[in-house]
Structure 1
Amino acid sequence: MKNFSIRFRELSDDEFDKFAEWDILDYSKDLIKSGLCSKEDALESAKKSFHGFLPEGKYTKDNFIYMVVNSNNQDVGIIWYQKYQKDIAFICDFLIYENFRRQGYGKQTLLLVEEEAKEKGLKKVLFNVFKYNKAAFSLYKSLEYKIIDEVGENISMLKNI
């Protein structure tokens, strides 16, 4: 096992509720910014998407939602991925809190997801990123994720692990 300066821990019920509220609002903003939804439809679309992925909340089978914690026991971000198809980990959402960015936590988080996914028998990691998210796109490329599809503002990236 690699040495990581981070670890994952499961969210409490209260943390999950706050995450759900944030995730829905954040995704609705992305839908508007990317041109995929109008302002009037974005919030409802984001809610539908979130609850479609997590019909049983944080207890939905094959979904892994973690707080990213650094070696000082500080919460530095959140990662949510799910088992997608038989051998793919799909990253649904990923956030390093602003005051912890550019410190290597994003890279460490993705590498830890890759390791954990391998342990779960998964062979690939897949996610979508919006073109305007240049910092995230740069990070993914540096970790050798490859573009497999582009539709409008959305880029799908994949890596064999």
Structure 2
Amino acid sequence: MNSPTVTLRPMRQDEYEKYTTRRDLEYVQALAETMPAEAAREKARQDRAQFLPRGLATERQRILVAEDTEGQVVGYAWVGLEEPRTKTTDTAWLYDISVEEPYRRSGYGRAILAAVEAVAREAGADRLGLNVFGDNTPAISLYRACGYEVTAQQMAKRL
């Protein structure tokens, strides 16, 4: 099978609300595995306010739509052009990557990730960081296959 090709374009305002609503819901569901649901909703709200205070117009943040060669939307990516804690620009930060359901397990995740890496390099970064929830096996497999390494790890046990 040939590897798919994607093109990234800036997300339009009419796409933004649908994307962020879905992303926030998925984020809350993942957070709720480690904290009460209300705390997870509040953290998601605070994180969006912190990292996207001006939505699509937030400086140094790119929310991108991935399209295949026929112009079909196959996924999304949100990349910050600086490390979120230190604000240094040698490290870009991948906040989110997603592939639409019909396109999963077909190489689109890898193609979107490669395109995001190119965006980060063009912005002057020589490293792309990200966080991944420990139970997100498909994402962890993708990142490992693409050369990403664990740099920190948290663990917990439900009692």
The normalised TM-score by structure 1 is 0.88
Structure 1 residue ranges without an equivalent (≥5): 154-161
**Residue in 1 aligned with 2:85?**
none
Q: Higher strand share goes to which structure?
A: 1
Structure 1 segments of 4 or more deviating over 4 A? none
State how 1:5-154 maps to structure 2 within 5 Å: 5-33=5-33, 35=34, 37-84=35-82, 85-152=88-155
Query: Gaps spanning 5+ residues in structure 2: where?
Result: 83-87
Aligned to 2:135, the other structure's residue is in SS state coil
Question: 1:83: Cα distance to partner?
Answer: 1.4
Separation (CA, whole Å) in 2 of partners of 1:144 and 1:77? 21
Amino acid paired to 1:66 = L
Per-residue CA distance 1:42-62 (angstroms, 9 max, x = gap): 112111111210011110000
TM-score normalised by the chain length of structure 2: 0.89
SS in 1 for 2:81: strand
Larger RCO, structures 1/2 (Cα 8 Å, 6+ apart): 2
For the aligned residue pairs, the C-alpha RMSD in angstroms reads 1.4
Distance 1:57 1:115 in 2: 23
1:63–1:81 contact (8 Å) kept in structure 2: yes
Cα distance in structure 2, aligned partners of 1:83 and 1:42: 26
Which amino acid is 2:116 matched to? V
Please tell me whether the aligned partners of residues 64 and 77 of structure 2 are also in contact (alpha carbons under 8 angstroms).
yes
Tell me how many residue pairs correspond in the alignment: 149
The question of whether the paired residues in 2 share the 8 Å contact of 1:4 and 1:112 is answered with no
**SS at the partner of 1:115?**
helix
Give per-residue Cα distances to partners, 1:83-119, cap 9 Å, x unaligned. Answer: 1222111001110011100111100111111112111
